[in-house]
Amino acid sequence: MKSFEYGKLAALFHVNEELGFVDIVNKHIAKKSIDGLSVGEYLLLDIVGKSHGVLSENGIGEWFKKSALSFMLDFPHKLNCQNFLNQMSYIDSDTMKNIEDDLCRVLVEKGFTPSILFVDESNWFTYATNYNDESELLHKGYNKKHRKDKNQICVALAANEDNIPFIHETYPGNVHDSEEFSGIVEKIINRLTELNICSEDLVLVFDKGNNSKDNIEKVTSKMSFVGSAKANQAEELLDVPLSKYEYLYKNAKGNKIYGYRTKHQFYGTEFTTVITYNEGTYKLQKRTYESNKSKIIENLENLQRRLESNKGKARSRSSVENEVADIILKKYRSVVKYEIIDARESQKKPQLKFWIDEGNENKCEKSFGKNLLFTDKHQWHTKKIVQIYNNKNAIEDDFKLLNDHLLVPVGPVYHHKDENIKVHVFLSIIGLLFYRYLAWETKRYGFSMKQLIERLSGIRMAIVQDKKSNLCEIILEEMDTKQASLFSFLNLGKFLPS
């Protein structure tokens, strides 16, 4: 008997049928098929392969031979990396846009008209080199995994209230989020126009990393927004005593959320402003700060001792500057101050002095547990403003899924050509859309995404051989009641090989 995972494969095929992904792809491709397989089918296989831990197109052929797909589908030739690269060559930026437009039309027809969009950005480092600066995408920049030595790509994503991806953009690794934000807003407006949705009815939710005067003006000229600001943009509001905050609600973790509402000017315009307070976050940030502060001081004292010793190699001022910069985390540089004193004639090394700026430390501590929100939705209740902004965590969860090697991973990126990188990210985003649609469709079960995938992955098929006749038969392995219900509800039996 041979056993194969079946449930997750079949569920992805089910979503493809629901959304018409393969047909939509083929509609926008001039060459419909190669040796019996359409470009849309190749792209679907790529998505399915990614969701089963296949991290490159090169590995799909081997995975396919060992998966249930080898019985579910009939391929006229061997699957290999070059086959997939050939299909990717049919997909350019305009084609991806057209495919996304059509998928969004299907979603709108199914009731997913967005009234709120959450925007966030992330980045992925790669092992790809940028020979002769040929790539516009592959560049070094601030990396969230702290791999500043590697080239990276950046991705902006906008998702609706059901966490369904609505639009994405892949952009160069050395471009700041706030610079790209204007472009993603423009794409959102264009897509809404394509879908005959009035942008003035939409609320955009984004964090402080996207803020600039131009960006805020661009958003408010076309739609409404809820955003956050840096603490130093309204320091006086951090001094408001907690006794003036009102209780708003209790979050999913059981923490009480409080808010203080007022009006405040940001970027030359007055907005409704809410300072939120979460005691659980306060305690966490306080612990994190004290821990990081202790490590910084310990490392600076160690460096100080090494510099005071005249033994070993000589040190330049710049090398000490670089080491200090690595020790003091960027967000604490206003608190931990230092001075480098040039080496005297008898010394081989500069000397280091450092201290804690108590005034800035007090300002820092006043911000713990607090978030500064501002919006042009003046008529909204304070609780709604805060809850809508905090729902932004859902898109952050989407980026976690895009880092999950058993769901729809973006990284690692093996491609060197910009167009292939864009297609690679595009397919990961479509995979994310598949999973989010599946979660929405099965929300009656109350599963988290992880629980849903575990249940589906546990649905298996087996090939058994009759000892007398030597005939083989495909059967389903035993399922629990929840798996059996999912199997029936999603009609997964239709994809079983006959």
CA pair distance 157, 436, nearest whole angstrom: 14
Q: Is 264 within the bounds of a domain?
A: yes
At residue 70, the pLDDT reads 79
CA pair distance 256, 424, nearest whole angstrom: 41
At residue 133, the pLDDT reads 78
Q: What is the DSSP string of 292-334?
A: HHHHHHHHHHHHHHHHHS--SS---HHHHHHHHHHHS-GGGTT
CA pair distance 174, 141, nearest whole angstrom: 5
User: Does 327 lie in the same domain as 248?
Assistant: yes
Q: Is 185 within the bounds of a domain?
A: no
CA pair distance 300, 325, nearest whole angstrom: 11
At residue 155, the pLDDT reads 92
User: Does 263 lie in the same domain as 347?
Assistant: yes
| Residue indicated by tokens 């955003």 | 227
pLDDT digits (tens, 9 = 90+) for 42-69: 899 889 888 877 656 667 777 777 888 8
- Looking at 378, 393, 416, the residue that finishes a domain is 378
- Nearest partner of 259 among 181, 372, 94, judged by Cα: 372
Q: Which residues of the chain have pLDDT under 50?
A: none
CA pair distance 297, 67, nearest whole angstrom: 54
Q: How far is CA 331 from CA 173, 335, 354, in A?
A: 21, 9, 16
Q: Is 383 within the bounds of a domain?
A: no
CB 105 within 8 A of CB 195: yes
- Looking at 354, 378, 402, the residue that finishes a domain is 378
| Residue indicated by tokens 């001039």 | 30
Strands (E), 298-452: 336-341, 351-356, 370-375
At residue 379, the pLDDT reads 97
Q: What's the number of domains the chain is made of? A: 2
User: Does 327 lie in the same domain as 237?
Assistant: yes
User: Does 373 lie in the same domain as 249?
Assistant: yes
Q: Are strands 165-172 and 370-375 parallel, antiparallel or unpaired?
A: unpaired
- The whole-angstrom distance between residue 400's C-alpha and the CA centroid of its chain comes to 6
Q: Is 257 within the bounds of a domain?
A: yes
CB 277 within 8 A of CB 259: yes
The whole domain housing 341 covers 232-378
CA pair distance 45, 35, nearest whole angstrom: 15
Q: Is 109 within the bounds of a domain?
A: no
Neighbour-count burial for 298-321, b at 16+ CB within 10 Å, e otherwise: eebeebeeebeeeeeeebeeeebe
Q: Is 210 within the bounds of a domain?
A: no
Q: How far is CA 60 from CA 3, 78, 91, 213, 432, in A?
A: 19, 11, 19, 47, 19
At residue 183, the pLDDT reads 92
Residues in the chain: 498
User: Does 345 lie in the same domain as 454?
Assistant: no
Which residues on neighbouring strands pair with residue 276, listed in sequence order?
259, 371
Q: Is 290 within the bounds of a domain?
A: yes
User: Does 314 lie in the same domain as 239?
Assistant: yes
User: Does 361 lie in the same domain as 239?
Assistant: yes
| Residue indicated by tokens 């952009």 | 171
CA pair distance 235, 273, nearest whole angstrom: 13
Q: Is 177 within the bounds of a domain?
A: no
Q: How far is CA 117 from CA 27, 69, 412, in A?
A: 28, 36, 28
User: Does 258 lie in the same domain as 330?
Assistant: yes
Q: What is the DSSP string of 148-217?
A: TTS-EEEEEEEE-TT--EEEEEEEETTS-HHHHHHHHHHHHHHHHHHTT--GGG-EEE--GGG--HHHHH
CA pair distance 253, 161, nearest whole angstrom: 20
User: Does 324 lie in the same domain as 452?
Assistant: no
Task: Name the DSSP letter for residue 478.
Answer: P
* Residue at 490: amino acid letter: L
Residue 451 parent element (H or E): helix 449-457
- Looking at 360, 378, 396, the residue that finishes a domain is 378
Q: Can you say whether the dihedral through the CA atoms of 353, 364, 239, 287 is positive or negative?
A: negative
User: Does 442 lie in the same domain as 368?
Assistant: no
User: Does 350 lie in the same domain as 257?
Assistant: yes
CA distance from start to end of the chain: 17
User: Does 338 lie in the same domain as 268?
Assistant: yes
